[in-house]
Amino acid sequence: MDEETPLKQIRTFQGDVAEALERQRESLVSIQRAEYLRKNTTQSSDLITSENTKRRTDLFFLFLGSFVLFSVGLVGSWYAYNEFVRRSSTPIITTPANRFIATNTKVDLPITANSRETLIAMLSNATENIPSGELRHINLPLPTNKFLETLESRAPGNLVRALNPLFMIGAFGKSPTTDWTSIFLIFKLDSFENTYSGMLEWEKYLGQDIGPLFATAPLLKNVPIESSFTDIIDRNKDIRILVLNNKTVLLYTFFDNNMLIITDNIETLRILLDRLTREKLSR
């Protein structure tokens, strides 16, 4: 019994050492495997992270490029559309407020007339050399009351107040029925009743006050005070007319109770009435 005990102890010691070595070997292998797996996992994670970052970067630049191209295309389309509209649209023509009918030409006069003689001379120059059949607008930037005041007219106060500030001066070139340039005045009205009564009162001075503006000025220069206007009807229109030496020198009428027309020729009056009617129907 006593001899067998040491042998068992030695075998047990050797077995313990072997087992320890085996466990150590296994631990080293496990550690190496774990380290290998950790490194591979870290590399894979870094690779995935790098790929994700690259993908996000690519997507960002793709989105940015698409946005820039879309913006450029949008701006280009907007510019092309506006350019098309600008080139294809009809140019806007500014019409003076005191032009009541369409005309062929226009002459702008400065506001420098401070006397009757100066104003008459300016208007006379503006109506020279008008081609036959052409209608010219003489754009005089003066209100009606200032115009009549500069002419030193004797128009009654109720008439001046009844006339709108806007009025038109124009001229027709020589026509087959006339051998002179025909002048006309068109006044807008604020009150037809006061204008009508005021014109009847002004008739005795009308030829002398505004006569020099018209082609019949030589005949109107010394109009006898006893000369008077008479009524005629032409194309169903009531007209007041002044005749000297069997020749019509001045006449006036109303258009729709909204305008007063004064001219020196019946043909001119007919043309004006026709054009005003067309202007009214075209609105």
Residues 139-177 pLDDT 10s: 998 999 999 999 999 999 999 999 999 999 999 988 666
71 and 7 assigned to the same domain:
yes
Cβ neighbours, 10 Å, residue 105: 13
Residue 267's contacts (CB-CB under 8 Å, 6 or more residues apart) are: 175, 177, 178, 182
In degrees to the nearest 10, what's the CA dihedral of 105, 110, 111, 114? Answer: -110
Name the domain boundary from 90, 113, 146. 90
pTM score, whole prediction: 0.67
Mean pLDDT across 178-200:
93
For residue 1, the model assigns a pLDDT of: 47
Is 70 exceeded by the pLDDT of residue 25? no
Domain tally for the chain? 2
CA angle 7, 13, 16 (to 5 degrees): 140
Distances in whole angstroms, Cα of residue 67 to Cα of each of 54, 173, 279: 20, 65, 54
Rounded Cα gap, residues 134 and 173, in angstroms: 5
125 and 25 assigned to the same domain:
no
118 and 203 assigned to the same domain:
yes
Question: In the structure, what pLDDT confidence band is assigned to residue 45 with cuts at 50, 70 and 90?
Answer: low
Is 90 exceeded by the pLDDT of residue 214? yes
What is the residue range of 39's domain?
1-90
67 and 175 assigned to the same domain:
no
Rounded Cα gap, residues 159 and 153, in angstroms: 12
Residue 29 pairs in a beta bridge with: none
Residue 95 inside a domain? The answer is no
Buried b (16+ CB within 10 A) or exposed e, 209-242: bbbbbbbbbebbeebeeeeebeeeeeeeeebbbb
Distance of CA 112 to the CA centre of its chain: 30
